[in-house]
Chain A
């Protein structure tokens, strides 16, 4: 069974940093593209960042480019999101997602989500 378990969320002051982690299991993690998607309270879904299976291709939403860094450790079946210079508008539930094998931008598994609150 595929499982994606996010950790590292919480309350942080504006301008500070936070690192999210996602522990993956139940599938060959190193063979799949993985992404972060977020959802602000009461709002729609926003794609944040994605990384290819071998880390040679990464992408970012314009809203986080230059502030967030995505990375992965295939030896530990883990995905990370380093979030710097956090803003109140970054407050959201952050989901770790797994892409399909052939349509790696279509997310067939999602974590339960973790809340990040940016507030003074």
Chain B
């Protein structure tokens, strides 16, 4: 199975900060990676798919990039609505797997 190692697990930040979250795959997944945002008590919402494609309706302050088996989610200027938990997920091979999550807190 492909393991997704996400870091950090918790991130303290302020409004306006540039935030970087990293996910590393245990083997090549090409660009078959998505990023999700989840708020307490709510279903997750896709932000990025195919490693760097912004989902329709998602603010442009969110971006994704890839370098080999390392993937990055960047929030260019953190907004109050962005305090949430973020997950990466690979969909290259079954079983599809999620990272452990990164909680972005104030």
Contacts and interface: CB of A to CB of B under 8 A. Distances in A.
Interface of A: 35, 44-47, 50, 59-62, 95, 100, 102-108, 110-113
Contacts, number: 66
A46 B46 contact: no
Interface in B1-42: 1, 32, 34, 36, 38
> Which 7 residue pairs are nearest across A and B when measured between Cβ atoms?
A105-B91, A59-B94, A106-B49, A110-B43, A106-B34, A47-B96, A44-B101
A105 B96 contact: yes
Given A108-B55, A113-B43, A103 B98 contact: no
B71 interface: no
B32 A61 contact: no
**Chain B interface size, under 10 / 10 to 19 / 20 to 34 / 35 or more:** 20 to 34
B44 interface: yes
B91 A106 contact: yes
A100 B53 CA distance: 12
B104 to A, nearest CB: 14
16 contacts: A44-B98, A45-B44, A47-B97, A62-B95, A100-B49, A103-B32, A103-B34, A103-B91, A105-B89, A105-B90, A106-B34, A106-B50, A106-B89, A106-B91, A108-B55, A110-B43
Contact of B32 (A59, A105, A113): A105
Interface of B: 1, 32, 34, 36, 38, 43-46, 49-50, 53, 55, 87, 89-92, 94-101
B43 A111 contact: yes
Given A103-B50, A106-B91, A47 B98 contact: yes
Contacts of A113: 43
Given A45-B89, A62-B1, A106 B95 contact: no
B42 to A, nearest CB: 9
